[in-house]
Amino acid sequence: MSRSIIAILRGVTPGEVDAIAHQILGAGIDMIEVPLNSPDPIESIAILAKSIGDQALVGAGTVLDVAQVDAVKAVGGRLIVSPNCDAAVIAHSAALGLESWPGVFTPTEAFAAIKAGATGLKLFPGDLAGPAGLKAMRAVLPKDCPVYAVGGAGPENFATWAAAGASGFGIGSAIYKPGMGAADVRSRADTIVAAYDEAMT
């Protein structure tokens, strides 16, 4: 079963990323992003693309320009996640056949992202918009456009977000914090998957 969860490994290092990613994949999450403000992120993405690229969608977060998109693509990354709505980044990612998940907060940004070719939308920061904000946006967005809540979404409120129209979630510190061991990450990922399955089925 594929779950609509992106695991965000902010701060992960190349030396630990493979073991951590395998635990996340083992828990049932098959989308993993390494934010570009992590240590040596392109090296980590290259490791993941080679190790689990046939089983998981791996790529980068905090992607801000087209040169970064090219760098991710060059090492085998297939996922481009941004905190903002940059039409050039979205269009370039789409042209290269990569998934593009830009950050949006308003209907204006959402429709601009869709027009540029976004795969789906990342409502960010989710805790600022809240489920009520998502519900209001859902009234005007295309029904088939996936929207992931990122920031403020977790096991304790997946059901509330789902009721408001969330298609999935980006999960950061609830899965991984810098310095955390692979076993701890697995325990957290298992908890998140169980809560997700309960809320979304």
Q: Tokens 């904000």 correspond to what residue?
A: 133
**138: its two tokens:** 């859902």
- For residue 54, give the amino acid letter: D
Give the count of beta carbons closer than 10 Å to the beta carbon of residue 152: 17
Active-site entry in 16, 33, 73, 99: 33
Q: Are 27 and 186 in contact (CB under 8 A)?
A: yes
Helical axes 182-200 vs 14-27, angle rounded to 10°: 30
Q: Tokens 């693309």 correspond to what residue?
A: 49
Rounded CA separation 106/115 (Å): 14
In the annotation, is 33 catalytic? yes
Active-site entry in 16, 73, 99, 122: 122
Active site residues: 33, 122
